[in-house]
A and B are shown apart, each in its own frame.
Chain A
Amino acid sequence: MNWTWFHKLGSPKWFYQWASKWAGKLVWIGLLLLLIGVVWGLAFAPADYQQGNSFRIIYIHVPVAMLAQSCYLAMGIAGFVALVWQMKLAPVFIKSVAVVGAVMAFIALLSGAIWGKPTWGTWWVWDARLTSVLVLFLLYMGVIAIQNALDDQVFADKAVAVVSLVGVINLPIIKYSVEWWNTLHQPATFRLTEKPSMPMEMWLPLLFSALGLYLFSAGIAMWRMQTEVLKRERKANWVKQEVMSDGI
């Protein structure tokens, strides 16, 4: 297998140019898919026989919660890459994704609370899964906080890599807490590998909105990474040329 594309991604300049081509497209395609999924889910999918219409928040809640976890997993992998291969872009990636992930975790908590009120009769329970998403949110905030506290860029990059790698240990606990503690929260509704437990016309919009949110967030993260690369490489010649060619 040819790995040149991967090695090329390690160079800020090449990444910047590659991202300028793709980031916008990803955001718009993601937004479109998300819109299709959400409108389809909110307006056209059949109501749940038990929860009625209140289940429809699933089309926001589940994709957002999935993304909150995936972002952290991606950060952990990037942390490993940053520590072992010292790729320049890995810390940039962590810094950009941390904010996206924190927002997703927050929306997951919020939408979960809104969903919990009509179905469980309470905004919040100290259930394992809810608690671990709260912890996930705090972990994101920790990464953002240490990034802001350390002035030395090299040290800050190392620190966030360590923190995100260590925090990834928390992910399996989140993932398997439902099975471990068997609590109020229903088990995961959405798995690509298994036959869906809900009917097709409910499941498809969920697939659309999840896929859309993934693409959208990837695009947003790439935009943030581009900004960060520009900031870090501000003394490089190619950045000057890039800015000049934009007509400034």
Chain B
Amino acid sequence: MNYTSFFKAEWLSLLRRKQDTLNALLFFVMVITLFPLGVDPSSEFLAPAAGGIIWCATALSVLMAVEGLFKEDFNDGSLEQWLASGLSVSVLVLLKVLAQWLMVMVPLLLALPVLAQMLFLPWSSLLTVMGSLLLGTPALFLIGAIGAALTVSLRRGAVLMLLLILPLYIPVIIFATGAIRAAQLQMSVSGQLAILAAMSIVALALAPVMTAISIKASVN
């Protein structure tokens, strides 16, 4: 096993479980549908709220996708193989998260223009929404991986993981929706996007290490 073959194997196994990817996307669509139904279907409410709705739906679907990230590897002993392989566990975590990120985010971004239209999001701010998703979601995935690794040994870890991880998502959501609001007011968005990128970079530096520590403690 080396890093390239590991990534290929991860990618292939994700590709062969297309239903999981589809489920994450359907969940995203479902959450977005709840807002017009539950709050207000008029464009006066939806247009300004669209950015926030999209980001809340994204955060929830990311958590759903990340929650089972290490579950199978834990059950079939792959995590022990990781530790025994002599490769850096942090890098393996990073590769696994990268594969998962591509698998969830590419379909989501492709579906986004349609959903954005349904929420009456102005076309001019669609690019900012996409940019904020591209820059912000790596942080969501990386932080979520820590929670997934911590709760992997629990049979009902999902709720606990939500409780642990969701508070950490709040700064990302605040700055992402801030950028989208600024775009709708025709203001400069580069500041907020830069902070989003900074958060992802910090997460990129620290989260794989934390995840590796948690994996080592869980396997034991």
Residues of A whose CB lies within 8 Å of any CB of B are 83, 128, 131, 135, 138-139, 141-142, 145-146, 149-150, 152, 154-155, 158-159, 162-163, 165-167, 169-170, 173
* A165 contacts B210, C-beta separation under 8 Å: yes
Question: Is B38 among interface residues, defined by CB-CB distance under 8 A?
Answer: no
Enumerate chain A residues within 8 angstroms of B160, measured Cβ to Cβ. 145-146, 149
* A141 contacts B170, C-beta separation under 8 Å: no
Question: Is B202 among interface residues, defined by CB-CB distance under 8 A?
Answer: yes
Question: Is B189 among interface residues, defined by CB-CB distance under 8 A?
Answer: no
Residues of B whose CB lies within 8 Å of any CB of A are 143, 146, 150-151, 153-154, 157, 160, 163-164, 166-168, 170-171, 174, 202, 206-207, 210, 213-214, 217-218, 220
Query: Which secondary structure dominates chain A's binding surface?
Result: helix
Enumerate chain A residues within 8 angstroms of B167, measured Cβ to Cβ. 135, 138-139, 142, 167, 170
Enumerate chain B residues within 8 angstroms of A173, measured Cβ to Cβ. 171
Enumerate chain B residues within 8 angstroms of A139, measured Cβ to Cβ. 167-168
* B217 contacts A149, C-beta separation under 8 Å: no
Q: Which of B143, B150, B210, B213 contacts A146 (CB 8 A)?
A: B150
* B150 contacts A159, C-beta separation under 8 Å: yes
Beyond A139-B167, A145-B160, A145-B164: 19 further Cβ-contacts under 8 Å? A135-B170, A138-B163, A139-B168, A141-B163, A146-B164, A150-B154, A152-B220, A155-B220, A158-B214, A159-B214, A159-B217, A162-B213, A163-B150, A165-B210, A166-B168, A166-B206, A169-B202, A170-B167, A170-B171
Q: Which of B163, B170, B171, B206 contacts A145 (CB 8 A)?
A: B163
B171 to A, closest residue via Cβ: A173
Enumerate chain B residues within 8 angstroms of A83, measured Cβ to Cβ. 213
Q: How far is the CB of B179 from chain A (nearest CB, A)?
A: 14
Given known contacts A162-B210, A163-B150, A154 and B217 CB-to-CB distance under 8 angstroms: yes
* A155 contacts B218, C-beta separation under 8 Å: yes
The 4 closest A-B pairs by CB, nearest first: A158-B217, A142-B164, A138-B167, A135-B167
Enumerate chain A residues within 8 angstroms of B166, measured Cβ to Cβ. 138
A83 to B216 Cα, complex, angstroms? 12
* B163 contacts A166, C-beta separation under 8 Å: no
Write 18 A-B pairs (CB below 8 A) sorted by A numbering: A135-B167, A138-B166, A142-B164, A145-B164, A146-B160, A146-B164, A154-B217, A155-B217, A155-B218, A155-B220, A159-B214, A166-B146, A166-B206, A166-B210, A167-B168, A169-B168, A169-B202, A170-B168
Enumerate chain A residues within 8 angstroms of B171, measured Cβ to Cβ. 170, 173
A50 to B214 Cα, complex, angstroms? 52
Q: Which of A131, A155, A166 contacts B153 (CB 8 A)?
A: A155
Enumerate chain B residues within 8 angstroms of A166, measured Cβ to Cβ. 143, 146, 168, 206-207, 210
Enumerate chain A residues within 8 angstroms of B217, measured Cβ to Cβ. 154-155, 158-159
Q: How far is the CB of B202 from chain A (nearest CB, A)?
A: 7
Given known contacts A155-B218, A170-B171, A173-B171, A162 and B150 CB-to-CB distance under 8 angstroms: yes
* B146 contacts A142, C-beta separation under 8 Å: no
A83 to B206 Cα, complex, angstroms? 14
Q: How far is the CB of B170 from chain A (nearest CB, A)?
A: 6
A72 to B168 Cα, complex, angstroms? 14
A61 to B5 Cα, complex, angstroms? 56
A158 to B210 Cα, complex, angstroms? 10
A241 to B144 Cα, complex, angstroms? 46
Which of B174, B213, B217 counts the most A-chain CB atoms under 10 A from its CB?
Answer: B217
Enumerate chain A residues within 8 angstroms of B214, measured Cβ to Cβ. 158-159, 162
A46 to B14 Cα, complex, angstroms? 68
A141 to B210 Cα, complex, angstroms? 20
* A158 contacts B213, C-beta separation under 8 Å: yes
